[in-house]
Amino acid sequence: MIYYLLSMLLFLIGLYGVLVKRNLIKIIIGLVLMEYATFLFLALVGYKKGGTAPIITKGFEKAVFVDPLPQALVLTAIVIGLATTALLVSIAVRIYQRYGTFDIREIRRLKG
Amino acid sequence: MKGMTLIVKTIARLISGLIFLYGIYIVLHGHLTPGGGFAGGIIIAGAFVLLILSEGSKKASSEIKKQRASVGESSGIFIFWLLAMLGLFTGSLFFLNLLPKGKAYHLFSAGIIPLCNIGIGLEVGAALFAIFITLAVLKTGEKK
Amino acid sequence: MNLIPLFIALPLGAAFLLPILRYRNFDKQKTGQANPAVILGKWSKRTPDIVANLINLTLLVLSLMVINRGMLVYKMGGWEPFKGIPIGIYLVLDGLSVLMLLIINSIGFLAALYSVNYMEKYTDKTRYYTLFLLLIAGMNGVVLSGDMFNLFVFLEVAAIASYALVAFGTEAEELEAAFKYQVMGTVASGFILLGIALLYSFSGTLNMADIARIINQQGIQGTVLFVGALFIMGFGLKAAIMPFHAWLPDAHPSAPAPVSAMLSGVLIKAIGVYALVRILFNVLGLGETKSILYILMVLGIISMVAGALLALGQRDFKRLLAYSSISQIGYIVFAFGLGTPLGFLGGLFHLLNHATFKSLLFLNSGAIVYATENRDLEKMGGLLERMPVTGTTATIASMSIAGVPPLSGFWSKLIIIMAAIQAEQFIFALIAVLISIITLAYYLKVQRLAFFGKLGQAWKKTKEVPGLMCASMIILSLLCLGLGILLLPGIKSMILDPAVEVLKNGAQYANLILGE
């Protein structure tokens, strides 16, 4: 149970980073923390006590396996997270080229 | 970005080939062992990234390389798409595993899954490499 | 051959084919000869236009072909259920999906047609069409998916393509808007993924029908309500319902006009409203839970009022349209929140109508930008004289969105207000009528400032936009004029009734798919 709570705590830390921090890169780190907390939660959902890695090899056909589905989901979600992060970072770098700063208080040309 | 010292360059050149081979091994054994297209592709991209980091990004990051990486990515995923469409055309089911399954625990088994893994490996390797090169080029760009 | 996977496979395949085709051309520019390694086809400047438009036309034809086919379930890769428990990924085509497919692919086709001329001023058309086709593939996937995680993946495909499209011009404002949009969108995805994870831990399956069946058996518990709240937050952010709207007025005006039309006309509905309604009503079975419905109604009313009031004060044409989108999404969410069949009908019909007139208005604004390089309403004036097609179609769209009879917007708003009265929500019905008047006010302001009055000195030499752009605007304005006929009895039972039926059935969705 404590692990579930810790992963939720990590999620909240990430959310805090997104909401409070003023540096573009720190916001991105906050987002990544949120994503990874969710992945951790998903992996925990599939855990079984005493389970081994869900790979069928010779002689281990009947062993107790952890649930492989959340692991596949986490892998897919990591790929999506990679794409999102790469795009975010490249937009942040471009913003730095245009505005000369990472501080969101100075990046405010859009109003209303 | 300048290159690193001679020691690093030499070691990186020696190792990157081995890393590349290891990546190919992971991709090809995707249906038998942990790993597969995604993990193997990342290892393959890592071999290139290691070389560029040690040699310095100016030498490596040209527009042509970016285009090649981009087209490699597109062809990888196009292979995957074609395999899925083959199932649709022959058996009227998308992603139908139409090749014989073979014997378990053998390299040539599991129908189209190894082929899909090769496509994914190409896609992921090229995509990560493209992301790396794009960011490396952006970093050297001047402030406007 | 089964048609359903083609909706996703065709645009995806074309999206990845285009960069491969272009590569041959790239080497030709550098070295003077085509790259021998690539043997696929010859390249001309028009290739991306032709490929993308052909694919979109095919998708439109396909979505017209699936009308009135009843419910189709497609098991990906031929994985049959094991002891009645589904194991593979399902694609489900029912009435609601057909309606959404029609909206996505028709607006997508017209926006792609419009892009042929409009995107000339941007440098890289191949990348634009790649992202555009990915956007369409993602939305088609969201609409067809019968599996929670698959829905999430397609939602992310569409969302990432839209982030990149908003930043497409790489000007300072566009990048700023794209960053804001993407941060909000990623937070939303985090909430949605967390909801899916909780749902998986609760039910042990990801198939929507299977989840619905398990929730039916166990009854609605605290977990389900919490997941519902997470989804309202996540999909509400994607749909820009009021407390979660801040990104939309920046992001939608910053994109190129055909993309704005796709984002405002289709994307916020396909990955926001559709996904929210489908999951809340069909999967979680919350269609009769008063608290959730009340939340939807209140959120709808708030965005209706605030969007309209904020739109009144805008000078930027595209920004005004973006605020108006928030207000109209409010109408749609409010109608679904009523939870009655008439409310569903009104919501779905308004969703369809809003897709046509809002994308038309964004295309109009794009035409004005194309001709005059100006988005400020105060500086326009008398453009009807110089741009008759743009002016006329914009008038039709404005009247339609403001609810002037007999244009399509009038009928859907009428149904929503009637549904509100029928559900005895008199105050909300009154607010909806008042907001409709405010909508008329700000669209009259647009008309007066932009198209009527004295022709500004600067615009004496303005020309009407090229033919293909005009064509797509004219087709959309004809749709605005004529969509009222969908309410005629024979046609209503083909398109709107099956969609309403799906929402009305609520959690019975499970039995229809699993076939019990």
H or E segment and range at residue B26: helix B6-28
B-chain CB neighbours of A79 within 8 Å are 38, 124
Query: Average pLDDT for residues B46-75, to the nearest whole number?
Result: 78
Q: Which of B73, B74, B112 is the best mutation test for C, with the most CBs of C within 10 A?
A: B74
Domain count of the fold of chain B: 1
Pairing of strands C90-93, C72-75: antiparallel
Measured in degrees and rounded to the nearest 5, phi and psi for residue B125 equal -60, -50
DSSP secondary structure, C2-69, as one string: -STTHHHHHHHHHHHHHHHHHHHHHHHHHHSS--TT--S----TTHHHHHHHHHHHHHHHHHHHTTT-
Determine the residue of chain B that is closest to C2 in CA distance: B92
Which residue is it, tokens 């599996």? C147
**Cβ–Cβ gap C19/B71 under 8 Å:** yes
Specify if B99 maps to a domain: yes
H or E segment and range at residue C92: strand C90-93
- Subunits with 3+ Cβ pairs within 8 Å of B are A, C
Confidence of residue B71 (pLDDT cuts 50, 70, 90): confident
- Range of the structural domain that residue B100 is part of: 6-140
Burial track C345-354 (b if 16+ CB lie within 10 A, e otherwise): bbbbbbbbbb
**pLDDT > 70 in chain A, percent:** 91
- SS3 track for B57-115: HHHHCCHHHHHHHHHHHHHHHHHHHHHHHHHHHHHCCCCCCCCCCCCCCCCCCCCCHHH
Specify if B1 maps to a domain: no
What top-level class would CATH report for the domain A2-99? mainly alpha
Q: Is A97 on the interface with B (CB under 8 A)?
A: yes
- Subunits with 3+ Cβ pairs within 8 Å of C are A, B
**Cβ–Cβ gap A89/B38 under 8 Å:** no
**Cβ–Cβ gap C170/A94 under 8 Å:** yes
Residue C422 vs residues B134, C425, C426: alpha-carbon distances, Å: 58, 8, 9
Determine the residue of chain A that is closest to C177 in CA distance: A110
Q: Cα–Cα distance between C390 and C456 in angstroms, integer?
A: 17
Q: Is B143 on the interface with A (CB under 8 A)?
A: yes
Determine the residue of chain B that is closest to C90 in CA distance: B94
Q: Cα–Cα distance between B110 and B37 in angstroms, integer?
A: 15
Weakest-pLDDT range from B42-51, B102-111, C269-278: B102-111
C93 is written with which tokens? 């085509």
What length is written for chain B? 144
Q: Is C312 on the interface with A (CB under 8 A)?
A: no
pLDDT in tens, B129-140: 888 887 776 654
Average pLDDT per run of 10 along chain C, which is 516 residues long?
82 87 62 50 70 90 85 79 81 89 92 89 84 93 91 93 89 88 91 91 87 86 89 91 86 89 90 91 85 91 91 88 92 91 92 92 90 81 82 90 85 91 90 91 87 76 83 91 84 85 82 72
Decide: C393 and C474 in contact? Cβ < 8 Å: yes
- Shortest Cα distance, chain A CAs vs residue C457, angstroms: 28
At B1 the pLDDT is: 53
At C39 the pLDDT is: 46
Q: Is B38 on the interface with C (CB under 8 A)?
A: no
Q: Cα–Cα distance between A89 and C187 in angstroms, integer?
A: 16
**Cβ–Cβ gap B141/A98 under 8 Å:** no
**Cβ–Cβ gap A86/B141 under 8 Å:** no
Cα Rg of chain A, angstroms: 19
Measured from the Cβ of residue C186, the count of other Cβ atoms closer than 10 Å reads 28
Environment class of B142 (CB within 10 Å of its CB; exposed 0-12, middle 13-18, buried 19+)? exposed
Longest dimension (CA), chain B: 60
At C32 the pLDDT is: 53
Q: Cα–Cα distance between C222 and C235 in angstroms, integer?
A: 20
- Shortest Cα distance, chain C CAs vs residue B46, angstroms: 24
